[in-house]
Amino acid sequence: MVTGGAGFIGSALVKQLLSKNYHVTVVDPLSRTSIQNLESFNTLENFKLVKLDLLDEIKLAEVVKDSDLIFHLAANVDVRKGNLNPEFDFQNNIVATRNVLESMRKSNTCKKIIFTSSSVVYGEPHIIPTPEDCGPLTPLSIYGASKLACEALICGYVGTFGFESVIFRLANVIGASSEHGVIFDFFTKLKQSNGKFLEILGDGNQNKSYLYIDDCVKALTAGLDHYASKLEIFNVGADDQVDVNSIAQIIIHELGVNPEIIYSSELDGRGWIGDIKNMLLSTEKLKKTGWKIHYSSKDAIIHTVKSIIENRSNKWISKVRSRSE
Residues 217 and 103 in one domain: yes
Residues 74 and 216 in one domain: yes
Q: Say if 26 falls within a structural domain.
A: yes
Confidence of residue 315 (pLDDT cuts 50, 70, 90): low
| pLDDT at position 83 | 74
| pLDDT at position 78 | 73
C-alpha separations of 279 from 3, 118, 120, 127, 240 in Å: 27, 11, 9, 10, 10
In terms of pLDDT, which residue wins out, 298 or 310? 298
Residues 147 and 246 in one domain: no
| pLDDT at position 76 | 87
Q: Say if 323 falls within a structural domain.
A: no
Q: Kindly calculate the radius of gyration of the chain based on its CA atoms and give it in whole angstroms.
A: 20
- Summarize pLDDT for 134-193 with one digit per residue, the tens: 999 999 999 999 999 999 999 999 999 999 999 999 999 999 999 889 999 999 999 999
- Summarize pLDDT for 260-288 with one digit per residue, the tens: 999 987 788 999 888 999 999 999 999 99
- Summarize pLDDT for 17-63 with one digit per residue, the tens: 999 999 999 999 987 667 888 989 989 999 999 999 999 999 999 99
Rounding to the nearest 10 degrees, give the CA dihedral for residues 270, 238, 116, 244: 20
Which of 281, 277, 258 is CA-nearest to residue 269? 277
| pLDDT at position 92 | 93
Q: Say if 106 falls within a structural domain.
A: yes
CA 87, CA 201: separation in Å to the nearest integer? 25
| pLDDT at position 85 | 86
User: pTM of this prediction?
Assistant: 0.94
Residues 9 and 106 in one domain: yes
Which of 178, 163, 197 is CA-nearest to residue 9? 178
Residues 161 and 219 in one domain: yes
Q: What is the tally of structural domains in the chain? A: 2
b/e 103-121 (16+ beta carbons within 10 angstroms → b): bbbebeebbbbbbbbbbbb
Q: Say if 325 falls within a structural domain.
A: no
Least confident of 200-209, 301-310, 315-324: 315-324
Residues 232 and 257 in one domain: no
Which domain, by its residues, includes 293? 182-207+240-316
Checking if the pLDDT of 306 tops 80, the result is yes
Residues 68 and 216 in one domain: yes
Residues 81 and 43 in one domain: yes
Q: Say if 321 falls within a structural domain.
A: no
On the 0-12 / 13-18 / 19+ scale of CB atoms within 10 A, 39 is exposed
- Summarize pLDDT for 228-242 with one digit per residue, the tens: 679 999 999 999 999
CATH for 264: 3.90.25.10
Q: Say if 309 falls within a structural domain.
A: yes
Residues 222 and 264 in one domain: no
| pLDDT at position 227 | 65
In the three-class reduction of DSSP (H, G, I as helix; E, B as strand; rest coil), residue 207 is classed as strand
CATH for 84: 3.40.50.720
Percent of the chain with pLDDT over 90: 80
Residues 247 and 122 in one domain: no
Q: Dump strand ranges (E) for 86-163.
A: 112-118
Residues 196 and 80 in one domain: no
Q: Say if 324 falls within a structural domain.
A: no
Checking if the pLDDT of 102 tops 80, the result is yes
* Residue 35: CB atoms within 10 Å: 13
Residues 60 and 92 in one domain: yes
